[in-house]
Amino acid sequence: MTSTTSSEASKCRTAQVVLIHGAWFTAKLWEPVIAELAVLGASAVAVELPLTGFAADVATARRAIEAAEPGAVVAAHSYGGNVVSAAASGNSSIARLVYVAAFLSERDEHPSSILAAHRSELLDAILITETGVDVDPAKARHLFFGDADDETGAEFVARLRPMRLTAGDMDYEGEPAWKSLPCTYLVATRDRAIPPVAQRSMATRADEVIEWPTDHSPFTSHPRRMAELLHSYIP
């Protein structure tokens, strides 16, 4: 079976696992997980969100999810949780949603309010310009990739991308997908971006909760373990 990382995810018709990255991230950071899934015999696609606005991100993710095999597993990281909650809404063919240190929220809950309520370090690292939102690279290393060595962490930080301000406009129709689909929440207990206490609060909405002692990006620090978890949900 094939494995793919692509911004043209809708062209992939064989994916059993769909991977959605978070704010500022890139699909390339899922590549180690895709490789491990291939070893396990599963096909996967990592979707490159445009990060030009929430509606565009949702549309891109929805195309990939709808193109995947029936019974696909959809994993979402961080802001990707908001994207998937909208993009998978009304899609009954999905086997399971997996929220990886992600926002598993109601429609009227904004990530910024959740982070503020739990005093996230991420808020002090955000840089706002006239056109977009970015993260201070000097702080991103420890916020997002605390388990990586310095060289690897610096490489990951170099791949981060800015987002347009409109990415914060998260209106969508329908109920969040987690209300009608089986979902797992993976709490990253050493996360400095989305505090573990915030994750545990959101995780009460999932029907399965798992905790790993990892940083904000366990798919980069533990790709084999992540692949095995996702593979276990494939029907």
Closest CA to 48 of 88, 85, 6: 6
Residue 80 to residue 62: CA distance in whole angstroms? 12
State the pLDDT at residue 19: 98
Exposure of 89 in the CB half-sphere (CA atoms within 13 A): 16
Domain chopping of the chain, boundaries:
3-232
Alpha-carbon distances of 1 from 12, 42, 43, 66, 188, rounded to whole Å: 12, 6, 5, 19, 30
Q: Which amino acid is at 106?
A: E
CATH of domain 3-232: 3.40.50.1820
Residue 222 to residue 185: CA distance in whole angstroms? 16
State the pLDDT at residue 201: 97
Q: Which two tokens stand for residue 138?
A: 């000097």
Rg (CA), the chain: 16
pLDDT tens digits in sequence order for the chain, 235 residues long? 444 444 343 344 479 999 999 999 999 999 999 999 999 999 999 999 999 999 999 999 999 999 999 999 999 999 999 999 999 999 999 999 999 999 999 988 888 889 999 999 999 999 988 778 999 999 999 999 999 999 999 999 999 999 986 656 787 888 999 999 999 999 999 999 999 999 999 999 999 999 999 999 999 999 999 999 999 999 9
